[in-house]
Amino acid sequence: MHTSPRHVGVASVAAKALYLYSLVCASALGAVVLAQPQETPTQKNQPSVLEVLTLNDAIGPNVFVQGNVIYQTWLQRAASSDLDVAADTTPKWSVMVRQIDMSGQPSKSATITTSSAIFANWADFPSMTIAPDGTMVAHVAETSDPNEPYAYDVVLYQSKDQGRSWTRLGTAHDDGTATEHGFVSMVPPQVQNDGVTMFWLDGRNMASDGAHGAQGGGHGGGTGAMTLRTATMQPDGSIATPVVIDDRVCDCCPTSAAMTSSGPIVAYRNRSRDEVRDISIVRFVDGKWTSPELVHHDNWEIFGCPVNGPAIDAVENRVVIVWWTAANSEPVTSAVFSSDGGATFGKRIQIAKQGDHKRPLGRVDVVLLEESGDAVVSWLSAEPTDQYAAESSSYDTGGAVLRARRIRADGHMGDPYIVAIMTPGRASGFPRMNRVGDHLFFTWTDEIETARNIYHTMVPVESIP
């Protein structure tokens, strides 16, 4: 019988260091460790089952669920013994995958690929999905020009043996430009013989500037604009010609996609010619892609990418979208529901806003609960914590708290739930959430001194009020 985790947390950085040391010792003995640290006043309701994935440099955890099996992917810095190390000092990374069962216990890890060409980034990380025939598809960001730090491709890998071995298929796009291609979302098909639908940000129209950002590279500094494109990978591994579905989008905000009864839907941050960057959607309806439609008029005018995209989930034609904005210098996490596949949306629901020493940071995720129609939203919040500031009284000197909250389409919300406390800033990456059975699976990155580690926990759905 599964035992629900008690709500306790890691007490301090020192306690975390001791915890990590205990994991090293246990790992050498082949043991499985479940931490049971002491609770501190600012960490109430934090689950206790914090398992560190590795003491090597590890970032970018992601999660896909099929049935009662969790598939976790991540980026791990490769040990020198894993490769024939040349004279250069270019970091080499591995894209890893493993299964986690309903009790939270992981299987042996498998390597999708290892290379010095892998683009390891805190916000743009690998993902995977599984087609109805069991074929596993993963995407990896691989650099296309060593002289352009943000020139990288969306490279697809496929496994036909449940992830034990992987084949490199090539890029999802066909332009061959040394520009940015990333922030991928993938959705599996509804029926056996359909393909996996992919969405990504594509910077090919910015190639002429030849540098990144203000210096170029297809990331906001060119005369062209970042585009949103889509393509389908067929069961035989072939990739259909990519289609532009929005010709001007925010340069580096993650995308999110889901499958409705009507077809796939993608949510992303748009970009107007007046530099208003709000959340839009595009849907596949009656055999064609709709024009971009705004989810809500936040009117956030910002001259740069906030690196903060939306999250979407769908059950049949019920859809929920969650996002973060800082329009008028007021950071807010919001959500909207749809009952018609995204054709229309209800009133915006404000889930978290600045106040009481809390400031929402975004980096959202969402799960739509099939049985109730409720949604569980997760987001990062900057706020004072004992763990990162012993006497902090404001979020500017505190840590980051991963929170979750149940919301309903009518606007009713439960109390926020503390999932974990972590390092503020980019080191904490983008926490991910998915549902398996009657539990929610959370995974995130945290940094202890200079070591980045990946954690996960499972929380009963009924624990989110």
Secondary structure string (H, E, C) spanning the chain: CCCCCCCCCCCCHHHHHHHHHHHHHHHHCCCCCCCCCCCCHHHCCCCCCCCCCCCCCEEEEEEEEECCEEEEEEEEECCHHHCCCCCCCCCCEEEEEEEECCCCCECCCEEEEEECCECCCCCCCCEEEECCCCCEEEEEEEECCCCCCCCEEEEEEEECCCCCCCEEEEECCCCCCCCEEEEEEEECCCCCCCCEEEEEEECHHHHHHCCEECCEECCCCCCCCCEEEEEEECCCCCECCCEEEECCECCCCCCEEEECCCCEEEEEEECCCCCECCEEEEEEECCEECCCEECCCCCCECCCCCCCCCEEEEECCEEEEEEEECHHHCCEEEEEEECCCCCCCCCCEEEEECECCEEEEEEEEEEECCCCCCEEEEEEEEECCCCCCCCCCCHHHCEEEEEEEEECCCCCECCCEEEEEECCCHHHCCCEEEEECCEEEEEEEEEECCEEEEEEEEEEHHHCC
Per residue in 334-385, pLDDT tens? 999 999 999 999 999 999 999 877 999 999 999 999 999 999 999 999 987 7
Per residue in 131-141, pLDDT tens? 999 999 999 99
Task: Using CA atoms of 351, 285, 434, 330 in order, give the dihedral in degrees to the nearest 10.
Answer: -20
pLDDT higher for 168 or 391? 168
Question: Which range is least confidently modeled, 184-188, 236-240, 393-397, 457-461?
Answer: 393-397
Asked if 230 and 289 count as a contact pair (C-beta separation under 8 A), the reply is: yes
Asked if 363 and 377 count as a contact pair (C-beta separation under 8 A), the reply is: no
Question: Which range is least confidently modeled, 141-150, 158-167, 202-211?
Answer: 202-211
Q: 126: closest CA among 62, 180, 59, 196?
A: 62
In the numeric block, which tokens belong to residue 267? 């949510």
Nearest 5°: CA angle at 95, between 367 and 33? 70
In the numeric block, which tokens belong to residue 459? 């929380």
Query: Residue 212 pLDDT > 50, yes or no?
Result: no
Mean pLDDT of the chain: 83
pLDDT tier for residue 392 given thresholds of 50, 70 and 90? very low
| Per-residue pLDDT at 106 | 85
pLDDT tier for residue 15 given thresholds of 50, 70 and 90? very low
Per residue in 429-443, pLDDT tens? 999 999 999 999 999
Nearest 5°: CA angle at 325, between 285 and 180? 65
| Per-residue pLDDT at 386 | 65
Classify domain 253-430 at the CATH topology level. Neuraminidase (2.120.10)
In the numeric block, which tokens belong to residue 192? 């056996």
Per residue in 85-122, pLDDT tens? 444 456 799 999 999 988 888 888 999 999 999 999 99
Question: Which range is least confidently modeled, 61-75, 196-210, 236-250?
Answer: 196-210
Query: Residue 42 pLDDT > 90, yes or no?
Result: no
Question: Which range is least confidently modeled, 22-31, 76-85, 91-100, 187-196?
Answer: 22-31
| Mean pLDDT of the 79-85 span | 50
Environment class of residue 110 by beta-carbon count within 10 Å: exposed (0-12), middle (13-18) or buried (19+)? middle
pLDDT tier for residue 147 given thresholds of 50, 70 and 90? confident
Query: Residue 218 pLDDT > 80, yes or no?
Result: no
Query: Residue 39 pLDDT > 80, yes or no?
Result: no
Task: Tell me the residue type at 444.
Answer: W
| Mean pLDDT of the 444-456 span | 85
Task: Using CA atoms of 192, 195, 199, 205 in order, give the dihedral in degrees to the nearest 10.
Answer: -170
Highest mean pLDDT among 31-35, 385-389, 424-428: 424-428
Task: Using CA atoms of 381, 383, 387, 388 in order, give the dihedral in degrees to the nearest 10.
Answer: 100
Q: How far apart are CA 91 and CA 123, in angstroms?
A: 18
pLDDT tier for residue 451 given thresholds of 50, 70 and 90? confident
| Mean pLDDT of the 298-307 span | 97
Query: Residue 83 pLDDT > 60, yes or no?
Result: no
Domains of the chain: which residue ranges?
253-430
